[in-house]
């Protein structure tokens, strides 16, 4: 039995009838095809990374204004960095400014408490428009509780995208397979939302969000789950030193792939530039091993 985080899992308002929750619907669907699970990624800031290496090599939950408690967020299948027309402000504590990304093996999914099949932050900020924002704020309706394994996100992907490749390209199915015909709610509403092209909404709309309220220590076997780290080029040496220290502590020889991206030290950087230097290389790395 895995050490599952139940703090988020047990946080239920009871406002949604159980039979109309995505959690229950997915539990009734038998997958004719089990998709290979994908890696999960965590995005942090340069300032937070400094605290990680100065402390106990631990990813710590931060206060979330959406759910009003401390949470640690991961994204399923890749690094999903919000970008847009506004420039990034110079704040080393903000993940949008010179972000650092960790990509973990799928085994870390076992530590997650729950999943949402979309970006809850965008829903909270009413970014999905009048047609969808209020509906997607029904957190209990669309939350999928983790049952201690790492297959649940694969079931979400199969149900709404059919293949990992389609999920990676944000291409939902046009209609459900026959095994979904008798399950209309809330599957149909969610599929309609995932297929919608909404103005001013970025690619994270279709990304599966993973949550836990527990810290994730990297100074144990979880360190060997780290596959890829993306960071500003000037932080590559720090990342390598972190890996050396953990390897020495664990008597391990594991070194993740470290990708350093170029930055302009004295300029306000457009978001799309960070997207090109961080998210795309992470996607290509994951694609090589998981999305073929």
pLDDT for res 186: 86
The reply to whether 65 falls in a domain is yes
Estimate to the nearest angstrom the gap between the alpha carbon of 216 and the chain centroid: 15
Residue that is written with structure tokens 């004295």 in the block: 266
Cα(254)–Cα(246) distance, integer angstroms? 9
**Domain of residue 224, residue span:** 18-290
For the stretch 144-165, pLDDT in tens is: 999 887 889 999 999 999 999 9
More confident residue, 94 or 236: 236
Do 97 and 46 meet the contact criterion of CB atoms below 8 Å apart?
A: yes
Nearest of 39, 6, 44 to residue 168 by alpha carbon: 39
Its pTM stands at 0.86
For the stretch 235-284, pLDDT in tens is: 999 999 999 999 999 999 999 999 998 876 545 556 566 667 788 899 89
- Binned at pLDDT 50, 70 and 90, residue 185 comes out as confident
The reply to whether 124 falls in a domain is yes
- Binned at pLDDT 50, 70 and 90, residue 184 comes out as low
pLDDT for res 230: 94
Of 148-157, 193-202, 218-227, the range with the highest mean pLDDT is 218-227
More confident residue, 63 or 82: 63
pLDDT for res 6: 40
What's the rounded mean pLDDT across residues 23-29?
Answer: 84
Q: Is the pLDDT of residue 181 over 60?
A: no
pLDDT for res 53: 87
Cα(229)–Cα(54) distance, integer angstroms? 18
Q: Is the pLDDT of residue 88 over 80?
A: no
Q: Is the pLDDT of residue 75 over 90?
A: yes
pLDDT for res 209: 97
pLDDT for res 271: 59
- Quickly count: other Cβ atoms within 10 Å of residue 83's Cβ: 20
Q: Is the pLDDT of residue 171 over 60?
A: yes
The reply to whether 207 falls in a domain is yes
Report the chain's mean pLDDT, rounded to a whole number: 83
Paired sense of beta strands 40-44 and 69-76, if any: antiparallel
The reply to whether 8 falls in a domain is no
Q: How many structural domains comprise the chain?
A: 1
pLDDT for res 151: 86
pLDDT for res 214: 96
Nearest of 48, 111, 37 to residue 74 by alpha carbon: 111
Q: Is the pLDDT of residue 74 over 70?
A: yes
Give the CA count within 13 Å in the CB-facing half-sphere of 125: 10
The reply to whether 2 falls in a domain is no
The reply to whether 284 falls in a domain is yes
Torsions phi, psi for 51 (to 5 deg): -70, -35
What's the rounded mean pLDDT across residues 35-40?
Answer: 94
């Amino acid at each position: 039995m895995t050490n599952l985080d139940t703090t988020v899992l047990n946080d239920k308002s009871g406002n949604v009838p159980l039979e109309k929750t995505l959690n229950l619907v997915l539990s009734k669907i038998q997958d004719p095809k089990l998709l290979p699970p994908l890696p999960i990624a965590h995005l942090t800031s340069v300032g937070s990374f400094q605290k990680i290496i100065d402390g106990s090599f631990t990813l710590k939950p931060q206060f979330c204004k959406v759910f009003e408690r401390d949470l640690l967020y991961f994204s399923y299948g890749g690094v999903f960095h919000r970008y847009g027309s506004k420039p990034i402000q110079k704040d080393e504590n903000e993940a949008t400014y010179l972000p650092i990304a960790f990509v973990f093996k799928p085994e870390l999914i076992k530590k997650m408490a729950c999943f949402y099949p979309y970006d809850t932050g965008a829903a909270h900020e009413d970014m999905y428009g009048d047609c969808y924002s209020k509906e997607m704020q029904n957190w209990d309706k669309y939350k999928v509780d983790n049952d201690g394994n790492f297959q649940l996100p694969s079931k979400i992907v199969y149900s709404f995208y059919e293949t990992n490749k389609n999920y990676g390209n944000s291409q939902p199915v046009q209609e459900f397979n026959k095994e979904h015909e008798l399950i209309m709610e809330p599957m149909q509403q969610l599929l309609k939302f995932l297929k919608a092209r909404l103005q001013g909404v970025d690619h994270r709309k279709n990304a599966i969000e993973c949550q836990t309220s527990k810290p994730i220590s990297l100074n144990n076997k979880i360190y060997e789950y780290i596959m890829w780290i993306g960071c500003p080029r000037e932080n590559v040496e720090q990342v390598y030193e972190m890996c050396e220290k953990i390897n020495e502590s664990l008597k391990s020889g594991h070194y993740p792939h470290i990708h350093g991206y170029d930055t302009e030290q004295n300029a306000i950087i457009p978001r799309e530039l960070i997207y090109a230097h961080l998210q795309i290389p992470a996607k290509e790395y994951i694609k090589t091993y998981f999305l073929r």
